[in-house]
Structure 1
């Protein structure tokens, strides 16, 4: 089974240079391919080279034939660099792909005991409440409650999220899209979205996010 190279992994690798050599069984996610163009990277991947110039894929043999043969000393140095890079890639993959919670456990949260606290990252004057009831201590996803009282919250999602509207009127702006949801509705927001949560009146929302430890991968 191939190993997926996410945006977070690729950004980490790009810190060591714009030419990155991946093992043959690695697979770039669509977002990671977009990042190749954004950062101007060149990815050596199996028997192909993925270049940021026009998203062009060139056989490795073709690229090698246009270059002079390297000296034995240079080959030895390159092999050392490649081995070092492989170790770094392996370490990054292990950190990125490991579960948020090593020992997930069953949990019963009593709704009548949940106290929703003011969200300290809300803009001044905005009455936004938020409380996590499942965290990385208990599982690989996070869950909790949000409230919006005639308020809005701009936010960037470094994770996937699904929201179930418990009561009231909920509004969500994702780019040029605006969703108006009511009690009983569900909305899904993909990772990497710039959004604005809001309510023209009052609403209470139950949310689920994945992974639970998304904050560990923020820049």
Structure 2
């Protein structure tokens, strides 16, 4: 974890990961403030703050006089975003461990579902079976890219539960949900990245601040095949 992460954020991230992995089951009582204090060697206020962050992320709830409990998060798209980011991390890590030959059928991967959904004694009306997601788009990526994606999602999930979600996290959460929903395939009708490019915030572009004359004028139509989104003139930038 980065050195800037506070002890409370680290503890909250650890608990979120334990909930995601099923080490803490839905409805199960979380470690008490006293237990966290002793386990992590922190002050009681830090332990209390960690549980508060977990509750703020939608992963826990408190019962006065009884303690803090893990929230039920069985359904895929109405649960806290941090769990979708963690699930996308796990999916990418799993795919990075597999090998696909040229004639190998890319498998589908189960996503979501209630813990213990395949228990023969479970009430079928109270559990949700996982969805099978075609991961052929992700399976074509280099395993190092998949591992990087997994680690990036994991780091982001810890930050989300520790520090809270901001407006800048919208694309992060939607990317994770796209992976869980359809294996990261491009939606039908959306142009490829090489032809789209997309808008770039002007305050991110140093070149245009140094050479503002190189920005495409409003009178010149944008070229849809321009990978820079039609923002530059035809003159070389340097």
TM-score (norm 1): 0.25
TM-score (norm 2): 0.24
Higher helix proportion (structure 1 or 2): 2
Higher strand proportion (structure 1 or 2): 1
